[in-house]
A and B are shown apart, each in its own frame.
Chain A
């Protein structure tokens, strides 16, 4: 079973938002890492470090089956994501290109898997409510993706 198109669309939108969110003068982490970190910090409060760790570990395991390029990625004991760097575009070099292609396929799938697990356990409404702390409303309000699917 692969990450659903809905979740991939939603993940893609979060990644696009993060790719364009940083100040141009500052170097930034990859959008995948930024999205992941925001989720981690937002959800840590709610589920605790151990809760997020188990969720992220499961999501990464699922994502690796779809994207072998994630093979080097791992979740540390405090829930942070490591080993993703070489897969992501160098955003501090070409920010415009980053918005167009914000993340590797593996990054999209990993974020989609986390979102998918949250939706599976909590439902869409509650998942979106919990993520509203981390992202502005327009990311959630404009739910239609470029190809017309709903996240």
Chain B
């Protein structure tokens, strides 16, 4: 024992997938916590998950129910969740109904009853549900504050981690003695936006450790509450050392235009109008990765995985075998009411599951449309977080985005997400000699040289094929309506940019 030793606070698992990450590893042992929110927001379910994750016969949990939902109905519904293990009752988890005491006596009698049961069972976890119904009875402020302080002191002394569950509106947060005493305050919200329900949780307060600030999406499924951290569970992952490796598209001319390929860990955007071959390029990128033994993920929103793989087959690219070998996953993410964080967690799970090095999101427009309307406002911000998190661990991301074809303008993206990308490849139609042809140009490569050339390409049975040299005998190619000049087509090698980042 040293006078310089700090006390180590043991953290208990919350039993809620994703929540440990949000609270900074787990909830502090012996802490006095409040789970607050409106009716139906998942407070009781969250408390049950904690109880079932931590209660043992040696250190059981006492779950005090008060007025409100009847115990029978509560357990009737709670047992539907997969975490609910009936074998833990009553040895590890005891439900004790205090409604009679609350109805017939004052808070002192309630405290006495809780004290008696805690001294008898020496529980590791104590839950009072719903605490709010207990204090709605007319009490003076002093009574309530005194009760809370005595309860908190007693339960901490008895080494119990405690949860008070209460129905509170947000405007009740201020000047409330209960919240002052609490070590932890978990707030659950649910709001209706258009036709969707959006659920978010916030760790308003947690003494002794750093939690992830902000609002985190959560969902209630048959597995209970599942939380989706805004940091996507990637806190603590060290960024891979800067890589100078270049990843090939499997199209030598394009690799040359990119100065040798896409830099590993970059976020690449392929922008173009419908039919310009964005998905074909993305498929070639992922297939080349497989060939280079770099596992990949394709997140599709506009066609089913089978159709995506069949289209690759028509280009001579085999996506079936790597799927069977666990080197490739094609994710189809189109359920309604999906939150952006849930979608991104599905992608992240897959990335981590197979150790993916390349990720294709095809397309950003489809991704946005797959989201619940209420989450679309967060799309860009969430996309930024995901790209930052994934590229931070060395995953190279290629996203496709459809842009409106204009013959007077040359927009990079209708989503104004260019700032999210390191590299931009722009595909577009041009009208040349009575034909609608296709050209591509590398607009931007952050921190690397790239060709300034405008190259014509075709989509063939072998995918995207870049034709000839750069088009030097036309002016105004990127307008889509070029004017022929007298200069012959170039025979020069592709010219490289200086490496100075383009402002986009």
A interface list, Cβ under 8 A from B: 44-51, 55, 121-123, 125-126, 128-130, 132-133
Contact = CB atoms under 8 A, between A and B. Distances in A.
B503 interface: no
Contact of B99 (A50, A130, A133): A50
Given A44-B97, A45-B97, A51 B71 contact: yes
B94 A122 contact: no
A122 B72 CA distance: 7
A102 B455 CA distance: 95
Contacts, number: 57
B75 A122 contact: yes
Contact of A51 (B70, B86, B90): B70
Given A129-B86, A130-B89, A133-B90, A45 B96 contact: yes
Nearest to B84: A126
Contact of B75 (A44, A55, A126): A126
Contacts of B75: 122, 126
Contact of A48 (B71, B76, B88, B94): B71
A125 B86 contact: yes
Nearest to B70: A51
A28 B423 CA distance: 87
B8 interface: no
A48 B73 CA distance: 13
B196 interface: no
A48 B75 CA distance: 14
Given A46-B97, A48-B97, A48-B99, A55 B72 contact: yes
B72 A121 contact: yes
Interface of B: 65, 70-73, 75-76, 79, 86-91, 94-100
Contacts of A133: 90
Given A122-B72, A122-B79, A126-B75, A47 B90 contact: no
A151 B447 CA distance: 73
Interface centre among A48, A55, A130, by most chain B C-beta atoms within 10 angstroms, is A48
A126 B95 CA distance: 12
A50 B89 contact: no
A94 B432 CA distance: 111
A121 B73 contact: yes
B98 to A, nearest CB: 8
B84 to A, nearest CB: 9
9 contacts: A44-B97, A45-B96, A47-B97, A48-B97, A49-B100, A51-B71, A55-B72, A129-B86, A132-B91
Nearest to B63: A46
A82 to B, nearest CB: 20
A51 B67 CA distance: 11
Contacts of B100: 48-50
